[in-house]
Chain A
Amino acid sequence: MRAASDADLVGAALRGADTAFEQLARRHSPALRSFLRGVCRDQALADDISQDALICAWQQLGQLRDPAAFRSWLIGTGWRLVSEARRSAHRRTRRESDWVETHTQSLPEGLNAEDNMALETAMQELTPDQRACVSLCLAGGWSHGDAAQALDMPVGTVKSHIKRGRARLLAALGGDT
């Protein structure tokens, strides 16, 4: 059986079927959470903002112009909420206090603690825009065009952020850029 498309599910959700929105959330929340984890560098905060973004998307679904572009729109909503959260002193304080706990929990396979720390520090030093582009395109495999649409940036800017971000991350490992 063919799975319902995003556009079908958005249409059903707009007609009041909450299960349709839950299906959309189940389909796209892994991408949203991965993206926000990459940007926030704090899994708990990223998951909080992911929930907020999904609720916001649910309540403002009527404002989505192209139902087929739900995924980009959801990522854009998450990105907007992250930008707002960055301006919030409360969340910033919490993020800093949680940092040590979050980043001593797990070490990616094949990485030693020294490399992981170097990459984490370099990732923190990237600008939020660079982190967003790196997270979407290098980690999430998004095309430059899709990332540009979701983040509301010109494609050239996305490409440049990725190039600079990648170079800085590789430099942290002492590798070639």
Chain B
Amino acid sequence: MSAENKLNAFLQADAAPDRDPVFMAALEERMARIRLHARLRRHAVLAIAASAVVFGLIKASGLSMVGAVAQFAADLAATPGLALAGLIVAGAMLLPRILPGNGRT
């Protein structure tokens, strides 16, 4: 084997495979993690902004925070239709889990 051929064989040994599912899976996982972190950051910013708006409204209305929350809870509880709707939604969500043979294995 000539020196030139040996050099070519040596250099070609560095070639990465054309398809490497493990490498691509690791890359896609990193991309998914970065996307998730970005989404969480965005949602956190929105939540903080929404909290600030609610806090400002409560302040402006002259109510105390505890008073406003208590008033809101009392209003909710005093609405029978809303409570009933809540029960129906909860039942619809829990029923498939309670009934036998409906769960995904």
Q: Using a CB-CB cutoff of 8 Å, which residues 93-127 of chain A contact chain B?
A: 106, 108-111, 115-116, 119-120, 123
Residues in chain B within 8 A of chain A (CB atoms)? 1-7, 9-20, 23-24, 26-28, 30-31, 34-35
| Chain B residues with CB under 8 A of A34 | 14-16
23 residue pairs A–B, Cβ–Cβ below 8 Å: A18-B31, A18-B35, A22-B24, A22-B27, A25-B24, A29-B16, A33-B23, A34-B14, A37-B14, A37-B15, A51-B23, A51-B26, A55-B30, A110-B1, A116-B10, A119-B10, A139-B12, A139-B15, A166-B7, A169-B7, A173-B3, A175-B2, A175-B7
- Cα A123 to Cα B13 with chains together (Å): 13
- Cα A122 to Cα B13 with chains together (Å): 15
Residue of B nearest to A52 (CB): B30
Shortest Cβ distance from B94 into chain A, in angstroms? 35
Main SS of the interface on chain B?
A: helix
| Chain B residues with CB under 8 A of A108 | 9-10, 12-13
